[in-house]
């Protein structure tokens, strides 16, 4: 049964036109996630438009169109399963809310497939997406060295090795352990090494893309970190009392635990925990829960507060240091800029009080100290002052509470992570 398999969220990243849609389309086809009848329809449509070959990108393009029209896509369209896992394909960087969804956890990717077209090699968005996935905490990667059929000569091992080295350098620079990452010479279009080992690449002995996906690991649940449950909402239920709801990010919550909400600085005790309308004795990372607290009234706490253990309470920042990547901004960002920071369930206006350094977006090395401004494509170290006390923690201590998106005028301007906190 498909739904008894463990589930992983998978992102496809890489430069435009390097073959993300084609590869996803073909994966869904090969794994039987796309109805053959639907494929026939696409083929007919392709023929009617004078296209000689059927391209799998059409499958994804039509999904893109649906998404742009605002149609809710049947989630099944975005899923496929392998022998071991059930995969959901999460949005790609470049789509409107990708970064925000990744940071707020709505679509946190457990792994990413980096697609690099071998004829082209590393391009601007390859670098951008690699840096972004590192910033967003995607720890597992598979590199699909795509369009191996389109090298000159086709299936060229020499060109493959050149690009492999180039990609390897990039991954190493941002901090990935390259030795653990499979590189696969692939043709998303022709199907080489996707579901079956290709006879066109006799020089390659590694896994197919499907095998590499099967070899991914289910990330460990961060149960050994201190308890953190960002509050999504707070209810008062008559006869029960105050019931905040939210998702456990780290640690374990147990009945009778002493807890504290920050920055409200209100303490209480867990009277009961409910998940899927059933009472449970304890809750783990990933669980969406409602928990009844003794000693706390609804007016004391609100969305954006974080419930934590009293022994290790959530960190409240009056100021913090962060590393950011500027994704899009029409002009330049300088000190004094006050956009909204989206961090766990909090949305708080924060002022960039200083830009300490501009970084090389690939290596993180300092390019310029105290720059007057930063622009789209830049990475930087900044100092931030929230307009009111805010829970944010250094990513080194609690990654789940250290990431944020910067939003302004309806778009995601930047993604970042907290390096240290000035209490
Ligand atoms: P995306 O922008 O990364 O989603 O790229 P697409 O999947 O839309 O592919 C861009 C173009 O490259 C399309 O014309 C595809 O047919 C072509 N393409 C994708 N994968 C391959 C491949 O493995 N080999 C060849 N020869 N062409 C490919």
Q: Digits of tens for pLDDT over the chain (423 positions)? A: 445 788 888 888 888 889 988 898 888 888 877 666 666 666 666 666 655 455 555 555 555 554 444 333 333 346 788 889 988 887 666 666 777 777 766 667 889 999 999 999 999 888 878 887 887 788 899 999 999 999 999 999 999 999 999 999 999 888 899 999 999 999 999 999 999 999 999 999 999 999 999 999 988 889 999 999 999 999 998 888 999 999 999 999 999 999 999 999 999 999 999 998 899 999 999 888 999 999 999 999 999 999 999 999 999 999 999 999 888 888 999 999 999 999 999 999 999 999 999 987 666 789 999 999 999 888 899 999 999 999 999 999 998 999 998 999 888 888 889 999 987
Cβ–ligand 1 contact at 193 (below 6 Å)? no
Cβ–ligand 1 contact at 192 (below 6 Å)? no
Q: What is the DSSP letter of 333?
A: B
> Of 55, 57, 185, which is best to mutate to test ligand 1, by the most ligand atoms within 8 angstroms of its C-beta?
57
Per the rule left: phi > 0, alpha: psi between -120 and 50, beta: everything else, 335 is: beta
Q: Position of tokens 């350094």?
A: 357
Cβ–ligand 1 contact at 20 (below 6 Å)? yes
Which burial class, exposed, middle or buried, applies to 385 when counting CB atoms under 10 A from its CB (0-12, 13-18, 19+)?
middle
Could you tell me the distance, in angstroms and rounded to a whole number, from the CA of residue 146 to the centre of ligand 1?
Answer: 8
> And the tokens for 57?
């990108």
Q: Position of tokens 């899923």?
A: 79
Cβ–ligand 1 contact at 17 (below 6 Å)? yes
Could you tell me the distance, in angstroms and rounded to a whole number, from the CA of residue 96 to the centre of ligand 1?
Answer: 22
Cβ–ligand 1 contact at 342 (below 6 Å)? no
pLDDT computed for residue 57 by the predictor: 56
For ligand 1, what atom is nearest to the CA of residue 61?
8
Cβ–ligand 1 contact at 208 (below 6 Å)? no
Could you tell me the distance, in angstroms and rounded to a whole number, from the CA of residue 23 to the centre of ligand 1?
Answer: 8
Distance, CA of 405 to chain centre: 12
CATH hierarchy code of domain 226-307? 2.40.30.10
> Of 19, 27, 160, which is best to mutate to test ligand 1, by the most ligand atoms within 8 angstroms of its C-beta?
19
Could you tell me the distance, in angstroms and rounded to a whole number, from the CA of residue 56 to the centre of ligand 1?
Answer: 9
CATH hierarchy code of domain 314-421? 2.40.30.10
Q: Is 95 annotated as a binding residue?
A: yes
Cβ–ligand 1 contact at 151 (below 6 Å)? no
pLDDT computed for residue 94 by the predictor: 66
Cβ–ligand 1 contact at 26 (below 6 Å)? no
Q: Which residue minimizes the CA distance to atom 25 of ligand 1? A: 147
Q: Which residue minimizes the CA distance to atom 22 of ligand 1? A: 147
Could you tell me the distance, in angstroms and rounded to a whole number, from the CA of residue 7 to the centre of ligand 1?
Answer: 27
Asked if the 5-213 domain carries CATH number 3.40.50.300, the reply is: yes
Could you tell me the distance, in angstroms and rounded to a whole number, from the CA of residue 188 to the centre of ligand 1?
Answer: 7
Within the chain, all domains assigned CATH 3.40.50.300 are found at 5-213
> Are residues 250 and 225 in contact, defined by beta-carbon separation less than 8 angstroms?
yes
CA 247, 252, 255, 260 torsion: positive or negative? Answer: negative
Q: Is 19 annotated as a binding residue?
A: yes
The HSE-up count of residue 2 (CA atoms within 13 Å, CB side) is 12
Could you tell me the distance, in angstroms and rounded to a whole number, from the CA of residue 362 to the centre of ligand 1?
Answer: 25
For ligand 1, what atom is nearest to the CA of residue 150?
26
Within the chain, all domains assigned CATH 2.40.30.10 are found at 226-307, 314-421
Q: Which has the closest alpha carbon to 23: 50, 73, 69, 60?
A: 60
Q: Which residue minimizes the CA distance to atom 9 of ligand 1? A: 19
Cβ–ligand 1 contact at 19 (below 6 Å)? yes
For ligand 1, what atom is nearest to the CA of residue 115?
3
pLDDT computed for residue 78 by the predictor: 66
pLDDT computed for residue 67 by the predictor: 45
Distance, CA of 106 to chain centre: 9
Could you tell me the distance, in angstroms and rounded to a whole number, from the CA of residue 311 to the centre of ligand 1?
Answer: 53
Residues contacting residue 50 through CB under 8 Å, at least 6 positions apart: none
> Are residues 243 and 237 in contact, defined by beta-carbon separation less than 8 angstroms?
yes
């Amino acid at each position: 049964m498909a739904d008894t398999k463990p589930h992983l969220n998978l992102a496809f990243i890489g430069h435009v036109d390097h073959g993300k849609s084609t590869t996803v389309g073909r994966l869904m086809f090969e794994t039987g996630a796309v109805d053959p009848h639907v494929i026939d329809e696409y083929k007919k449509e392709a023929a009617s438009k004078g296209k000689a070959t059927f391209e799998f990108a059409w499958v994804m393009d039509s999904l893109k169109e649906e998404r742009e029209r605002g149609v809710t896509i049947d989630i099944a369209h975005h899923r496929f399963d392998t022998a071991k896992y059930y995969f959901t394909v999460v949005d790609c960087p470049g789509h409107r809310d990708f970064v925000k969804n990744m940071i707020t956890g709505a679509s946190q990717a457990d792994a990413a497939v980096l697609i690099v077209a071998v004829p082209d090699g590393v391009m601007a968005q390859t670098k951008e997406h690699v840096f972004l996935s590192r910033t967003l905490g995607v720890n597992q990667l598979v590199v699909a060295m795509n369009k191996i059929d389109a090298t000159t000569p086709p299936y060229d091992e020499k060109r493959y090795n050149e690009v492999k080295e180039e990609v390897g350098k990039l991954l190493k620079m941002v901090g990935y352990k390259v030795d653990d990452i499979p590189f696969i010479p692939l043709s998303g279009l022709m199907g080489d090494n996707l579901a079956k080992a290709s006879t066109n690449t006799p020089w390659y002995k590694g896994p197919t893309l499907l095998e590499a996906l099967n070899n991914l690991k289910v990330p460990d649940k961060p149960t050994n970190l201190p308890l953190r449950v960002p509050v999504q909402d707070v209810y008062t239920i008559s006869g029960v009392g105050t019931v905040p709801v939210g998702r456990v990010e780290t640690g374990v919550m147990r009945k009778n635990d002493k807890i504290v909400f920050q920055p409200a600085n209100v303490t209480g005790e867990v009277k009961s925990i409910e998940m899927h309308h059933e009472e449970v004795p304890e809750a783990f990372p990933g669980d969406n829960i409602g928990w009844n607290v003794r000693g706390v009234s609804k007016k004391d706490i609100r969305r954006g507060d974080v419930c934590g253990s009293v022994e290790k309470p959530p960190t409240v920042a009056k100021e913090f240091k962060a590393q950011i990547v500027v994704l899009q901004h029409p002009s330049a960002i300088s000190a004094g800029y006050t956009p909204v920071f989206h961090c766990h369930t909090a949305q708080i206006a924060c002022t960039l009080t200083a830009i300490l350094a501009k970084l090389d977006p690939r290596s993180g090395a300092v390019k310029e100290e105290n720059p007057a401004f930063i622009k789209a494509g830049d990475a930087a170290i900044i100092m931030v002052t929230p307009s009111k006390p805010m829970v944010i923690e250094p990513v080194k201590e609690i990654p789940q509470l250290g990431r944020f998106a910067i939003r302004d005028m309806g778009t995601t301007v930047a993604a970042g992570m907290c390096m240290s906190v000035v209490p």
